[in-house]
Structure formats: structure tokens, C-alpha cells
Amino acid sequence: MNFVERLARSEARNDSLLCVGLDPDPAKFPAAWRGDAGRIYDFCARIVDATRDLVLAFKPQIAYFAAHRAEDQLERLMAHLRHVAPEVPVILDAKRGDIGATAEQYASEAFERYRADAVTLSPFMGFDSIEPFLRHAEKGALLLCRTSNPGGDELQAQRLQGDGTAPGERLYERIARLANGAWNRNGQLGLVVGATYPAELARVRELAPGLPLLVPGVGAQGGDVAATVAAGWRANAPIIVNSSRAVLYASSDHDFAEAARRVALATRAELNAARALRR
């Protein structure tokens, strides 16, 4: 079963568009564990156990593990995910982008070491930086397109050269066209588009009508749920709406996992209500 098929089954099984991002910051852990990087696995595993029946996907961010020399804990977490939620796709948020043998090593890291179902990639270096990931036939690759941060305007919103009669398309539009067309040779590509830019999200959906879209920016970043679903969700065209901090740090006390579940339930319900209006 490939990544897109796993997404469709997970959405139906858990009735969810919600992706919980696993961005463990020991400085924000509950009081008894605060500052203890040795508890990264324990914290994330508790979040997973509390939300595994509510989510479309999980998205561990590799930097939060690597910064604390906790890659071994990430491996344990990935094994735990496979054990307790084998039906839920896991996206490794790594934003890799290199060419040749280096890209092959990054692909091996994501898909063989960590056994992720998909990985986030930067397309800045072109197709030959993406192709090694596509050799893993059942896996997905989600390309940065129109990201949720304001600084994305500095490159992603810039216009390319036109034909002299009309301005050229914007860079994010070119990425969406390539991902939907020439680059998507085996149907493995998706795009990352921020919830903080619903108009651009709608434009990407227009250019890539069937691709999965990973949509960060709901929750702590303030993206609007209803606008996100209206712009990006279509039947048979999944959106993976990520919330990290709002779920992970819903409580700073011993009840953090229970609080995370309450926020996840509320976010899933809000997403589903918005989706119901589109059906």
C-alpha cells in the first residue's frame, strides 16, 4: 500500500484530517520532566497513545530529536508508532534537499532507518534532489511549496520571467505545476502549503487538484480552520492539517496527555465540521 492509499484509509478509519506534529521541546515538558531530554520518547509516546485514534497522520520533526542527541529516541518512537498505530501514516519532517549520493543517504535515513511513510523535502535544487526518494516506491515526498512563515514571501511569492505579454507565474506556482506534472512520475509527490495563506492554498489546489497537501499553521500559528478546508480539501484530494504546539503543550502538568487528547478532539471536530460543508 502506498502513501496516498494509507492516507485515504487513515482518514476514513479515524474520520480525521488532523496531523499531530511531534516537536518535543524539553523546556516545555510537564514540571516533573521539564528540561530532561532523556524524556523525549516518554513524552511523545504519551501523546501518541492519547491521540492515535483521532489523527490522520503523525509528523515527527527530526530537528527536535537531533538537537538533543535523541535520534535513538526517535527510532524508539517510530517503532512505538508502528506497534500501537500501524494504520496511521508517519511523515518525517526533515526538509532535506541535496543531490546525488547525499540525497540517496537522506532517503535511506528517512525510509530505512526511521521507516517513515513520507518525508518533507526542499525542491530548491531541482528534480535530481528529489528523484532518489522516489526510488522507494511505496513512500511519499512532500515538497515545500508555499510555507506558513512570513519570510516565505522573499522567494516563494516572487514572479518568474514571463513571455513579454504577461507576468510569469510565481515560484510556488511553478513548484505546484512540476509536482503535479513532470516530476510526479509515480504518483508519490505532495506539497506543503501553509494554512496562514488560504488564497495561495486555493491556488495550489487549483494547480494540483489531486495531490496530498500537508498544511501546517493551524493552532499556535493562527491559521483559520474553515478557510483552510474550503481552500484545500476536495473529495479524493487529501489535506493533512498539522497542529503541533497547541496539542503537545495543552497542559504543563501531569495531565498533559489528557489535555492533548481534548485539544485533538476539538480540532478534529472543527475540521470535520468544515469538511461537511464542502461535501
Active site amino acids:
95
pLDDT of residue 220: 58
Residue 120 has a pLDDT of 98
Contacts of 270 (CB under 8 A, 6+ apart): 225, 226
CB burial string 7-29: b at 16+ within 10 A, e below: bbebbeebbbbbbbbbbbbbebb
Whole-angstrom Cα distance, residue 278 to residue 20? 23
pLDDT in tens, 59-100: 999 999 999 999 999 999 999 999 999 999 999 999 999 998
Nine-digit cell at 69? 542527541
- Strand order, beta sheet including 140-146: 57-60, 18-22, 239-243, 213-215, 189-193, 140-146, 118-121, 91-96
Read off the pLDDT of residues 238-269 as tens digits, 9 standing for 90 and up: 999 999 999 999 999 999 999 999 999 999 99
* Displacement of CA 145 from its chain's centroid (Å): 12
- Confidence (pTM): 0.95
**What is the model's pLDDT at position 84?**
98
Q: In the chain, which stretches have pLDDT less than 70?
A: 162-166, 219-222
How high is the pLDDT of residue 163? 60
